[in-house]
Chain A
Amino acid sequence: MKAALILFTLFSFPTWAASGVKGSVISPKECSSPVMVWVSLDKDEYKERLLLMHTEVPVGGTFQFYLKPGNYQIRASDEKGCEFLKKIKVDKAVGQLQVKMEKK
């Protein structure tokens, strides 16, 4: 019975389960809120800068991008010029990301 339940759980896992990245934003005092978080393709020189989406997130807040498996750049910026940049690889799951803003 247990084996049957385990098999059922395995095979009933939804094939549409989202992939992408779930993030939260932290920021030092010299930076400001809100922060704009940008996601772009990271494939080759041209497409690297192809912007897909962006969202405004208050410091401490959370966001989620639902993305196809692939390579992306997550950039964040605020009004005072603080920044964050990270290249990420998305597979068939939701990854976690901490957007840590820094004064440049």
Chain B
Amino acid sequence: MKTLISFFCLMISLNVFSSAIMNCGPNQIRVWDQNLGYNCIQNFQAPPADCVLCQGYQNYRPFPNWFVNFPPAVYQPNPMPWWAYQGNMYYPNLHYPGAWSNSGSYPGMNGQHYDGQGNVYAGKPNIYVESIHEEKKFSLSFPAGELSFLATTPSLDEKNTWKGKIVNKDRFEVEDIHYDYLFYDIRLPKEKMQFERGLCATRDEAIKWMLGDLKEMKFPEIALQDFEEHWKVKLPVYPFYCIYPQYNQQLDQVLPLSTNLEQTHFTRSLYVMIPHRKEPDVDEPQVIPFPVLDSVEIRPKTLIKHETMFKEWGVAFLGE
């Protein structure tokens, strides 16, 4: 009986230990898989089961089979949002976050077509709100001066500010128009961002991990739905991604946001994604090191519910 109990305890502790592998050694890569959880490995060889037209994957297969470029006969494409069907008719690069280049150290944004400065292209940071107020005046301000915005909705005023009302507890009203979220695209400097914490995963697993991370930070359901809908379409099909999450600690230094409201909390997350055409291997030198440390340690915690909670998600790519 004692043996059985001690075996049981050993199994539990092993299980707890294995699920709690947080940080990896210097010659390892931190990876994540929905079934196996976190792991520290030297060479990531997960099959890219999540893509049908994995041309990037073809590049490194020793005996490429060109039939793999065609979908199987009973191929059922995932349903896409309405705008993706329309975008597909006009734009061959719809399934990329923008003008894209494969010529740099890593595949990434083609900066020659974009205005401004900064090597991190933050795509679609969306800001959502949850408030106890049915109606409350608000303003959200970016710092005055030189910022490299690419797009905003609604448009900012001359002081880089959105002004309006929070209505129905979870919507913004700006100039009498309701918005589910406030949106901006921006170029940011890479220097104050962190590139040691995070993980590597296949494309599908990366989306699942980010959604899980947002859930942990208690993002509202509409924010999760928008994230999944958008990035399932706009995250380019590469077999592997390494994710370097930037949270309040990093983003408040790079791009502070201020509000006139008291009793407010802001949860900010921006996932910098580096696509890999082949399996990440620690023996191959990298311009951006593979993530080895746990990002949960820097993830913002909201233990107290404030009157108004702003939540911001975004995904970013490096310029070539």
Contacts and interface: CB of A to CB of B under 8 A. Distances in A.
Nearest to B148: A66
A95 to B, nearest CB: 12
Contacts of A67: 115
Interface string A35-57: 01011110000000111111111
Given A52-B99, A52-B114, A64 B151 contact: yes
B83 A66 contact: no
A97 B87 CA distance: 21
Interface stretch (B16-24, B175-183, B216-224): B175-183
B158 to A, nearest CB: 10
A61 interface: yes
B82 interface: yes
A64 B178 CA distance: 17
Contacts of B90: 38, 40, 49, 51, 75
Contacts, number: 98
Interface string A49-90: 111111111101111111110000001010100000000000
B98 interface: yes
A19 B115 contact: yes
B156 A64 contact: yes
| 4 A-B pairs closest in CB distance | A51-B91, A64-B155, A36-B83, A63-B153
Interface of A: 14, 16, 18-20, 22-23, 36, 38-41, 49-58, 60-68, 75, 77, 79
